[in-house]
Amino acid sequence: MAPFQCGTICNRLLAALPPDSLSRVVAKLSHFILTTKQIVQRADAPIEAVYFPASGMISLVSNLRDGMQAEVAVVGTEGMLGTSVISGAETSFVEAIVQMPGTALRMASIDFKREIETNAPFRNIILRYNEALQAQFMQTAACNGRHGLGQRLGRWLLIAHDRADRAELLVTQEFIAMMLGVHRPSITIAAGNLQRAGLIRSSGGRITVTDRAGLEAASCECYGAVQKRFANLLGS
C-alpha cells in the first residue's frame, strides 16, 4: 500500500468534504488495490481498516449455513466500507467481496474513529452515508421478499452498471445467481427474457446493457427508491 498523494478525489464522500476537513483525512489515507473476488472484510473478523472506493464495486454478502450466499448491499465510489466502526463494533456482520476490480483509499480503523470524533464535517457526511446505506439494506430485503426474479435481476444490473466504467459487465450468470441467492438456471431464464426484450446482451461471462432506459422500466421501484434516498441525503 502506497501513501496517498492528494490529487483528484474519486470517492464522492471524500470529494464532498471542505478543504480543511479533507486535508486532515488525506493525511491518514493510503492506496489499496481491489482485485476481483478478493475478500476485503470477513464476517466476524476484526475490522482493521475502512475503505473508500475510487473505482470498482464491493458486494456485502451474508453467508448462510448451507453454503449459500446472498448480496445485501453494494459499495462503490458513492460510499465506504466499514460503517460498523461508527457504532463501536469491532467486527463485521457481513463479508465484503470485490465484484469489480478497482482502487480504494484505506484508513486504519483507529484513525477513522479519531476523525469521526474530532472532524465534524467528516462525521456528518459519514453518518448521512450510513443512513443511506441502511436504506439500501432495507430495500434489498423488501425487494427479495416481494419482487420477481426478472425485476430483481434488472435492479442488480442497474446497480452494477452505475458502478462500472463501461456498458459491458464482466460477470458470470453463476456469480449473479450467488449474489441474488438463487440457482443458476433461474438466472439463465431471467437473463434470456431481458435479452429477448433487447435490454441486455449476455455471452461468455459478459453482460452488456444495450437499453438502459428500457432496463429501468423493466425493473422494480426498488432501484429508484434507493437512488432517491441517496440523493436526498448526499446530493446527486
Residue 3 confidence (pLDDT) above 60: no
| Residue 6 confidence class, pLDDT cut points 50, 70, 90 | very low
Q: Which three cell numbers stand for residue 224?
A: 429508484
Cα–chain center distance at 125: 17
Question: What residues does CATH 2.60.120.10 cover in the chain?
Answer: 12-143
What is the pTM for the complete model shown? 0.93
Residues in the chain, overall count = 236
Residue 149 confidence (pLDDT) above 60: yes
Mean of pLDDT over the chain: 93
CA dihedral 207, 211, 216, 219 (to 10 degrees): -50
pLDDT score, position 189 = 96
- The tens digit of pLDDT for each residue in 86-115 reads 999 999 999 999 999 999 999 999 999 999
Tell me the CATH number for domain 12-143.
2.60.120.10
Residue 41 confidence (pLDDT) above 60: yes
| Site of grid cell 460477470 | 171
Question: What residues does CATH 1.10.10.10 cover in the chain?
Answer: 148-219
Closest CA to 132 of 35, 233, 34, 61: 233
What is the C-alpha radius of gyration for the chain, rounded to an integer number of angstroms? 18
What is the CATH topology of the domain spanning 148-219? Answer: Arc Repressor Mutant, subunit A (1.10.10)
Rounded-to-integer distance, Cα 13 and Cα 195, Å: 35
List CB contacts of 137: < 8 A, sequence separation 6 or more.
Answer: 72, 73
